Amino acid sequence: MLRRGVTTPGQRAAAPAAARIVGRTLHSPLCLALAGMILGGSRARADWPTFRGPFGDGHVAAPGDSRAVGLPLKWSDTDNVKWKVEIPHLGWSTPAVMGGQVWLTTATEDGHDFYAICADADSGKILFNERLFRCVEPESLYNAAGHNTYATPSPVIESGRVYIHFGTYGTACLDTKTFKEIWRREDIHCRHYRGPSSTPFLYENLLILTMDGVDFQYLLALDKMTGKDVWKTNRSVEWNDQNDPSPMVREGDRRKAHSTPFLITVKGEPQLLSAGAKAAYAYDPRTGKELWRVRFEEAWSAAPMPLYQDGVVFFITGFGKTELMAVRADGKGDVTDTHILWRTDSFVSRTASPILVDGLLYMVTDDGVVSCIDPKNGERIWKKAIGGKYASSPIFGDGRLYFCSKQGKTTVVEPGREYKELAANELPGGFWASPAVSGKALYLRTKTHLVRVEE
């Protein structure tokens, strides 16, 4: 259904959305450096420094860069697999790739031990596999459906440093050459209830953490060199769940969220977009000051990352009443009644992040329905059931969209106003993590292995 607006813790507790060229915003020195490398070098051009890649939006290359990367179109467990290495324990974190290294996290299924792993990007050889944190009494994930792990936030890499985050269970910065610890924090807490999910965000000299738990909900910016606090901003939403008849609601289940921030520029000023529980926000990334917010009346636990195009932000509200909404980004304060342009609850993803390609928005529902949406008005252009269940977010490269299912199927689709499937590929193990790219290779994390796929 399409609706238009008026105008409308537990016990222990790079640049990602960096940039936009032609509508993508470049701010931090890291973002500028990455963009320059992406435009100028073959390996760095497709490095993947965090969850949604070098631009924070799932794109391998910058808009207007039509050079083919050479990503694989077809593969199987025996064809076009350069190497495959087993990853111990369990984690849904997306691999982060830079400088010939692939970083990911994992944790024991009981939540006692938390590890960082580094593999050589060319050979798959494990270079580093060490326990960083231990928790004697971790909180249960309350997760019978297996939707989350203790190692879901993805690593963030910049030159010489990698930032590892397990939510309330610990955050650390490591030297990527020596693998020595630079700093660690074990005092940043919230009760995740269903496990940590939000990936850290690197901006200028700050590492920004999203801590949306059932007890506390806030963003915290650390000095990336020292790990010390710089600013902290509590979510400003007012809760109305104290007398709800559901025990899980009273426990705080509808106060948590799982999304990762996204950086934009509006009228020359940066805005950090962040979807929380019951509301989505825009902040000044340098100070943490809240700039504006839009409320979700009947939704909670947002997971997908926001997107931005032509002055409009696209948020997915999460569970409950799952909606995709378009919001003008030029507001102040509570803009719920003034800046929502349109909203739809038809075939909207609850887990996988959406993606914008050539003026059209694509998303895949948890139950495997891919939709193409006109972002100007929210009208659906087409939808197609591609089979399977989905948590992995799609990526775009070489004129192709890649959708990876929990059953191990990757459906490759040509973007456009008509559905056109290019290939369907299978790997055993299934995908909860999203794909990563470096050079001509796809790095795919299954439930049990890290796989380099290359034609």
Residue 157 lies in a domain: yes
- What contacts 183, CB < 8 A, 6 or more positions away? 172, 173, 226, 227
Where helices occur in 48-127 by DSSP H, the ranges are: none
Instruction: Tell me the pLDDT tens digit for each residue of 331-377.
Output: 999 999 999 999 999 999 999 999 999 999 999 999 999 999 999 99
Closest of 434, 453, 437, 455 to residue 445, by C-alpha: 434
Q: Could you tell me the CATH number of the domain that includes residue 80? A: 2.140.10.10
Cβ 136 vs Cβ 111: under 8 Å: no
- So what's the pLDDT on residue 395? 98
- So what's the pLDDT on residue 143? 62
Residue 382 lies in a domain: no
- So what's the pLDDT on residue 69? 84
What is the residue type of 159? S
- So what's the pLDDT on residue 68? 75
- So what's the pLDDT on residue 9? 33
Residue 11 lies in a domain: yes
Average confidence (pLDDT) per 10 residues, the chain, 455 residues: 38 36 38 39 63 96 78 96 97 97 97 98 98 95 76 97 98 98 98 94 98 95 98 90 71 88 97 96 98 91 95 94 97 97 96 97 98 98 97 96 98 98 96 96 97 97
Burial class (CB in 10 A: 0-12, 13-18, 19+), 334: middle
Residue 10: DSSP 8-state:
-
Residue 100 lies in a domain: yes
Closest of 70, 59, 69, 65 to residue 39, by C-alpha: 65
Residue 431 lies in a domain: no
Q: Cα 133 to chain center, whole Å?
A: 23
> What is the pTM assigned to this prediction?
0.90
Instruction: Tell me the pLDDT tens digit for each residue of 278-309.
Output: 999 999 999 999 999 999 878 888 999 999 99
Q: How many domains does the chain have?
A: 1
> Residue 367 to residues 259, 349, 363, 370: CA-CA distances in angstroms?
20, 9, 11, 9
Q: Cα 209 to chain center, whole Å?
A: 13
- So what's the pLDDT on residue 37? 38
- So what's the pLDDT on residue 38? 36
- So what's the pLDDT on residue 109? 93
CA distance linking residue 43 with residue 77, whole number of Å: 25
Residue 446 lies in a domain: no
Domain containing residue 10: 2-345
Cβ 402 vs Cβ 414: under 8 Å: no
CA distance linking residue 441 with residue 121, whole number of Å: 9
CA distance linking residue 66 with residue 237, whole number of Å: 43
Bridge-based pairing state of the strands 333-334 and 290-295: parallel
Residue 404 lies in a domain: no
Residue 94 lies in a domain: yes
